[in-house]
């Protein structure tokens, strides 16, 4: 028996993983899963994007994680590295 349109739509909406919160952690998790071929659904409770903040500051080794997500190069081109003597 072929699924009816409503059934088919419900079937398409089935995700492997549900992530609560579309912040940095939630979106990074979703992207990491996507790169592994795992579908996820990100739910965000806020109606508005929080666009406050000043800078993204991190240590060099964090770029390993960003590389794994496939965004390390893009971010590195926009960074200033601070070296100590």
Ligand X SMILES: Cc1cc2nc3c(=O)[nH]c(=O)nc-3n(C[C@H](O)[C@H](O)[C@H](O)COP(=O)(O)OP(=O)(O)OC[C@H]3O[C@@H](n4cnc5c(N)ncnc54)[C@H](O)[C@@H]3O)c2cc1C
Closest separation between CB of residue 77 and ligand X, Å?
18
Which is nearer to ligand X, 1 or 48 (by Cβ)? Answer: 48
> Which residue is closest to ligand X by CB?
23
Angle ∠(50,77,56) on CA atoms, nearest 5: 30
Query: What's the rounded Cα separation, in Å, for the pair 76 and 84?
Result: 19
Which ranges constitute the DSSP H helices of 13-71?
24-35, 62-68
Which is nearer to ligand X, 4 or 46 (by Cβ)? Answer: 46
Which is nearer to ligand X, 7 or 34 (by Cβ)? Answer: 34
Residues at the interface with ligand X (CB under 6 A): 20-26, 43-46, 52-57
Q: With contact defined as beta carbons under 8 Å apart, do 69 and 31 qualify?
A: yes
Largest alpha-carbon pair distance within the chain?
72
Closest separation between CB of residue 56 and ligand X, Å?
5
Closest separation between CB of residue 6 and ligand X, Å?
26
């Amino acid at each position: 028996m072929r699924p009816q349109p409503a059934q088919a739509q419900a079937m398409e909406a089935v995700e492997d993983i549900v992530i609560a919160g579309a912040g940095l952690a939630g979106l990074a998790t979703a992207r990491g899963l996507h790169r592994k071929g795992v579908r996820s659904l990100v739910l965000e409770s806020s109606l508005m994007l929080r666009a406050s903040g000043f800078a993204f500051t991190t240590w060099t080794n964090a770029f390993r994680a960003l590389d794994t997500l496939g965004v390390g190069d893009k971010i590195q081109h926009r960074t200033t590295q601070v070296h100590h003597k």
